[in-house]
Amino acid sequence: MSTIQRIIIIAVVAIATMITRFLPFIVFPAHRETPKYIKYLGKVLPAAVLGLLVVYSIKDVSVFSGNHAIPEAVCIAVTVFLHFWKRQMILSISAGTILYMVLVQSVFK
């Protein structure tokens, strides 16, 4: 890959990133009321995305072989418990991920 190609790729990525960052502020300026459907999407999409990530994460887990999905079930339970207890998403996701890595790499080899 030549230097020109690298510069072009970096420029395209930078422009695409800037567009995704600036476009919402251009389309929905502060002095206008935000449409109701955008507010609705702001409420439901975070939970929908997390649900999608959970389904994607456990889609290949088999309860009939290996460790019978025990580490996955334990980590999901810990994540849900921590989230409902502390209401801090970064804490619950981090704790669940770290616990999963510890269980998979040391307990359920």
Same domain membership, residue 102 and residue 51: yes
Burial class for 54, CB neighbours closer than 10 Å (0-12, 13-18, 19+): middle
Same domain membership, residue 42 and residue 20: no
Same domain membership, residue 59 and residue 18: no
What is the span of the domain harbouring residue 60?
36-107
Same domain membership, residue 102 and residue 50: yes
pLDDT the model gives residue 85 = 96
Same domain membership, residue 50 and residue 26: no
Half-sphere exposure (Cβ direction) of 99: Cα atoms closer than 13 Å? 17
Same domain membership, residue 85 and residue 99: yes
Helical H runs in 1-109?
3-27, 36-58, 70-86, 89-102
pLDDT the model gives residue 54 = 86
Same domain membership, residue 70 and residue 57: yes
Instruction: State pLDDT tens for residues 52-84.
Output: 988 998 999 988 888 889 999 999 999 999 999
pTM given for the model: 0.62
Same domain membership, residue 51 and residue 26: no
**Whether pLDDT at 47 is above 90:** no
Alpha carbon distance 108, 56 (integer Å):
21
Same domain membership, residue 25 and residue 48: no
Same domain membership, residue 11 and residue 26: yes
